Structure 1
Amino acid sequence: MDGNRDEIEIIPVNGLANFFAFCRLPRLIYGDQPGFAPPLDAERWTMFAHKLNPHFKLVESQAWLARKNGKLAGRISAQIYNEAYTPLGASRAQFGCLDAIDDDAVVAALIRAAENWLRQRGAAVVHGPFSPSIWSECGLLVQGFEAAPMVFMPWTPAYLVNSLERQGYTKARDLISYRYDVGEKDRKASPRIAERPEWRERLNIRALDLKNIRKEAEIIIDIFNDAWSENWGFVPFTLAEFMSSADALKMVMPPEGGFMIELDGVPQSFGIILPNLHEVTGDLGGRLFPFGLPRLISRIRNHSFVSGRLALFGIRRALHRKAAGGAVILAFIEEMRHRSKSSSFEHVEFGWVLEDNFGMRRPIELSGAKIDKIHRIYEKSLAA
């Protein structure tokens, strides 16, 4: 590896040209590496543009690009949450979007830029990567580099893990993603929990009402924040953040992809399964304009997706470790199996789940799902 620091320039992402470069950088440096699939530029713009993503109202942030010999070589971001949004058990100071060529000097220069910016704002400990939040894309990939790429799950090369650890970063938490292969047993399965006498009148499963998405969103956010509120790193997911992607959700989520589980007439759990858009965007090279958008819309409507991701799931805390909660989770799994009868999915990714969230991991593993990917959140003391 060539580590000539004199050739490396760190550039703050200020201005439209650098912002566009920041968004497209991963596909420029990772190219056709197995397991990597380029996200759409337009989707990245909505994720990282401060005016389009309400997340940035909760933080002070800055991003940087790295150039080596005049060529783009890496990127990173840093942020500090407002005190009202302190992550549970984790630092308000975070880094994200760490992507770079295989060069320790480039990674070191990017890390120094982020750390210095955070120190100037009083940070003593940093966690990351969060890109840009815990509800977006998290962690560096440490297992599953050649697994099937999945929508909204970050891909990073193995060398990046080693480079970051050489900068003094250590593991904080692992995030586990599971692969569930859908088989004939699922499509032939009949519901059992919902048909039991003690649950038949109490459990109700309904589709999400996308025509009244705001009303549904209020219920989803209430359940989701309640369900996740005791998990490490938790920051409340705001209604504004959910609604910022609601129109896209309505466009890409299949009719069988979203459902709510009610117990005694009260919503207690929900799930949202998204098709793996990488199946229809691979040949677009990340670009939607000028001709990619109508092509993409047509593909989403007509393509038979073979993979998808359980992107959002929640069950109220009051039901955790209780018989009613077990019934709701089993009903959720049975409902997914029931919906597979009208779906082309051959596998679904459940992810991610915190490594120590055994209450969620156990039923997933009992369903037959296997660990497919592991992403790691890192930490470092910034004390002098």
Structure 2
Amino acid sequence: MDARPHAAATARLDVVPVDGLKRFMAFCRLPRQIYAGRPGFAPSLDAERWTLFGSKLNPHFRQVEHQAFLALRDGAPAGRILAQVYKPGQPDPVGASRAQFGCLDAVDDEAVVAALTHSAERWLAARGATKTHGPFSPSVWGEAGLLVEGFETRPMIFSPWNPPYLGPMLERLGYVKARDLVSYSYRVTDKDRESKPVIVNRPEWRDRLKIRNFDMKNLKSEAKIIVDLFNDAWAENWGFVPFTVEEFMSSADALRFIMPPEGGFMIELDGAPVSFAIVLPNLHEITADLGGRLAPFNLPRLLARMRRHRFVSGRLLLFGLRRALQRKAAGGAVILAFIEEIRRRSSGSAYAEVEFGWVLEDNVGMRRPIELAGGKLDKVHRIYEKELNG
């Protein structure tokens, strides 16, 4: 277990910038080192973290000025944080500050959390920030929010995990809730596997609604449609910043590798794309015991598992519905068609659970259909804010 605060009082505590490869690697692997063995936690692969947080690999970092920090307790990594400010000329996040923090992870020591947040706050204030929001790790389209409910639920791919002590520590340091992001667990039943689509077979929709798989051979063309739909659907949501084709394509190779043919589909209304969904298998099922490492022997093991494993859980990673259809009868029909399609596709898989997340707490138009379909609240991730006094 981590040292308690009183035991760590005499330890030397330093916060250092992540300014080289060695510290970057330490930054990426820190969660698996300090959270190993905690119920509900599963380590991500180091290689995937390099792609997500590498400034030369993730196009997001071209939009922001950023600095990552590591906390060292007696020389050993004990925590991390990322500070970032959107550059001039970049769009304002809807309702949220241009100055943000992310990637907050730490041992159970409030002095460590205080030192990290103070370092990020000073860096942001030096660039004119008066308020910060987060965590965005590294963006609203990465891993957003700090886990405040659902600590021991099934770990899910790209869903951040944090220990129960971290939220209360932030709040004692002056951070307050800005928004909650909720995730739902949908348990797939035999009834789902046997169900037949209803909406797309109704006379009024039969010739108007069509559902097709993504064209993975022409993913760049599909990416333009997906990004356009997604940005249109989310443009008025709190925290929104435009998602770019470059950001989507930076993950395209991984998407081709991990997404089964039935995992991505487009819904068309009167011949025009109006909605899409991406459901990914929960890779933690086959990576949790690898300790985050692929070399030297884990890569062939992982490839073999990918070929043979029948996943029992998945996550709705992205979903979008044209704004013009939201809160309209046609939009309701599209959402119901989406839910029916998820059910239909479950008949060819071993999925017992699909996580729908995240959803803004005040997005009633999305939350109500999920709840009516049988989704149960599973996790809550909180976005915090704090006024900065320089």
Same fold by TM-score greater than 0.5? yes
Contact 2:11 2:74 in 1 (8 A): no
1:164 matched residue in structure 2: 170
Q: CA deviation at 1:6?
A: 6.4
| Total equivalences in the alignment | 384
| 1:221 is the counterpart of 2:227 | yes
Out of 294, 313, 324, which is 1:318 matched to? 324
1:209 matched residue in structure 2: 215
Contact 1:177 1:350 in 2 (8 A): yes
Q: CA deviation at 1:290?
A: 2.2
Out of 238, 242, 246, which is 2:244 matched to? 238
1:40 matched residue in structure 2: 45
Q: Which runs of 5+ in 2 are unaligned?
A: none
Q: CA deviation at 1:262?
A: 0.3
| 1:88 is the counterpart of 2:101 | no
SS at structure 1 position matched to 2:118: helix
Q: What is the alpha-carbon distance in structure 2 between the residues aligned to residue 383 and residue 232 of structure 1? A: 24
| 1:137 is the counterpart of 2:143 | yes
Provide closer, same or farther for how the CA distance between residues 17 and 210 of structure 1 changes in structure 2, counting only shifts above 3 A: same
1:245 partner amino acid? S
Q: CA deviation at 1:260?
A: 0.4
1:335 partner amino acid? E
Deviations 1:122-170, CA, capped at 9 Å, x for gaps: 0000000000000000111110000000000000001011111111000
Percent of paired sites with the same residue: 67
2:68 partner amino acid? A
Q: Given the two structures, how large is their TM-score scaled by the length of structure 1? A: 0.99
1:356 partner amino acid? D
1:74 matched residue in structure 2: 79
Q: CA deviation at 1:291?
A: 2.1
Out of 340, 351, 359, which is 2:346 matched to? 340
Contact 1:58 1:85 in 2 (8 A): no
Q: What is the alpha-carbon distance in structure 1 between the residues aligned to residue 118 and residue 154 of structure 2? A: 33
Out of 54, 71, 76, which is 2:59 matched to? 54
| 1:378 is the counterpart of 2:384 | yes
Q: Given the two structures, how large is their TM-score scaled by the length of structure 2? A: 0.97
| 1:30 is the counterpart of 2:35 | yes
Q: CA deviation at 1:302?
A: 1.4
Q: Which runs of 5+ in 1 are unaligned?
A: none
2:30 partner amino acid? L
2:381 partner amino acid? H
Contact 1:5 1:105 in 2 (8 A): no
Q: CA deviation at 1:7?
A: 1.2
2:15 matched residue in structure 1: 10
Structure 1 segments, 4+ long, off by >3 Å, are: none
Q: CA deviation at 1:5?
A: 7.2
| 1:329 is the counterpart of 2:331 | no
Q: CA deviation at 1:383?
A: 2.4
Q: CA deviation at 1:352?
A: 0.2
Out of 156, 160, 181, which is 1:150 matched to? 156
